Amino acid sequence: MADEDLDNDVSAFLAVLAALLLDNVLQLDETVGRVTDFVMNNKPDRDTVVTLQSFDRIKQEFEALGDALARYAQAHAATPETGEARFQLGHDVISGITVADLKDRLLSRLVPEQDEMLLPEISAEQAAEVGVDVQY
């Protein structure tokens, strides 16, 4: 397979991932909207409102990640594999992320300290939940 074909495959794969991530954001937004309507009709307490705000924050972060992934996928094939242009592509994609905390976390993962792991440690309970489909 030629390098150009491989770049197109990678770009297409990244674009599909971005589209699916953004589809999930829309579903999350609809669900949060329904829950918000339900809660607001029942005089929520402060903790409930804070929890709903947390869901909205997560939605914003997923949306920002989906947009960043889509921008990277779009420019990937047209960008040289190494060098200043590739570095600039990553910089441009990251600079386009508007959620400051997410941008900082992404940068810290891309340029970790030497002894820092790239993936966060998770509890045994969290590990057991990975890949489990919940049906209602």
Tell me how far apart the alpha carbons of residues 79 and 85 are, in angstroms, rounded to a whole number.
Answer: 6
pTM beyond 0.85, yes or no: no
| Chain segment 86-125, per-residue pLDDT in tens | 778 888 888 888 888 888 888 887 775 544 545 556 677 7
Tell me how far apart the alpha carbons of residues 105 and 95 are, in angstroms, rounded to a whole number.
Answer: 13
| Chain segment 83-93, per-residue pLDDT in tens | 788 778 888 88
Nearest to 66 by CA among 102, 108, 117: 102
Contacts of 110 (CB under 8 A, 6+ apart): 90, 94
Tell me how far apart the alpha carbons of residues 121 and 53 are, in angstroms, rounded to a whole number.
Answer: 25
